[in-house]
Amino acid sequence: MTTRTVIIKSSEEKGQSLDGGFFGDTSPDREEYEIEGVNCTPEEFIEWFLIMPEGQDFCSSGNDLIDIGGSSLGLSVGATLSVEFEEYFTTWLKKQTDWAINQVRIESMSVYDSLNIIHWQGEPLCLMSPKDRLDIAFHMNRFDKLSKNQLDEYIRENKQNEDQKVGLTKIKLEDEFDFLLDLLDELPAT
């Protein structure tokens, strides 16, 4: 298994509150770490590291990792950082998959809009269960994404669906009760 490892050579705090002076640093407070490759170049390590969840608070500049998000890694001079290929690839693949799904959702929203199909964030309401459709319809109405008439239509539809469920349950209970009475009739009297 391939692992990319670097060591932290130096660390420096920088930013607006630290660099003062007449032409003060207007960039945010940050910690810059100069790294040196153990079994890879700093650039190769950074390529993998920034994709990982641990690298979310960092950006890079040359051989420097810049902590802009207040990472909880607790880095210090002499510490090593490593990224294994399997972890990197799994994370990279998930991000690529999420990106592709998001692109499909964006495209589907455009198509739904052009066909006047009511949807919420790429999910057409016509494919949702009546209960989910009603929940989303209330939400959409609150954000002026659905007219009052359309909301009323979904409310009526949900009520009809609930009434049908109650009617079916009542019929089913009556059938079960009749079956129990028939069983009682078949029992010998004692």
List, run by run, the mean pLDDT of 10-residue segments along the chain (190 residues).
88 64 58 88 91 86 78 81 94 94 86 78 75 74 70 76 59 64 66
Closest CA to 12 of 56, 71, 55, 67: 67
The answer on 56 and 19 residing in a single domain is yes
Gyration radius of the chain over CA positions: 31
Residue 99 covered by a domain: no
pLDDT at site 106: 85
The answer on 130 and 83 residing in a single domain is no
The answer on 84 and 127 residing in a single domain is no
Secondary structure in 3-state letters for the chain: CCEEEEEEEEEEEECHHHHCCCCCCCCCCEEEEEEEECCCCHHHHHHHHCCCHHHCCEEEECCEEEECCCCCCCCCCCCEEEEEHHHHHHHHHHHHHHHHHHHHHHHHHHHHHHCCCCEECCEEHHHCCHHHHHHHHHHHHHCCCCCHHHHHHHHHHHHHHHHHHHHHHHHHHHHHHHHHHHHHHHCCCC
The answer on 80 and 140 residing in a single domain is no
Residue 33 covered by a domain: yes
Of 53, 74, 90, the one marking the end of a domain is: 90
pLDDT at site 135: 76
pLDDT at site 23: 56
The answer on 17 and 65 residing in a single domain is yes
pLDDT at site 30: 73
Of 90, 109, 125, the one marking the end of a domain is: 90
The answer on 72 and 122 residing in a single domain is no
Residue 96 covered by a domain: no
* Residue-range definition of the domain harbouring residue 135: 117-172
Residue 86 covered by a domain: yes
Residue 101 covered by a domain: no
pLDDT at site 96: 95
The answer on 75 and 20 residing in a single domain is yes
Structural tokens at position 188 = 């010998």
The answer on 128 and 58 residing in a single domain is no
The answer on 123 and 83 residing in a single domain is no
Tokens 């455009």, residue located: 110
pTM score above 0.85: no
The answer on 168 and 127 residing in a single domain is yes
Residue 61 covered by a domain: yes
The answer on 35 and 85 residing in a single domain is yes
Residue 185 covered by a domain: no
pLDDT at site 98: 93
Domains held by the chain: number: 2
pLDDT at site 130: 75
pLDDT at site 174: 65
Residue 110 covered by a domain: no
The answer on 85 and 150 residing in a single domain is no
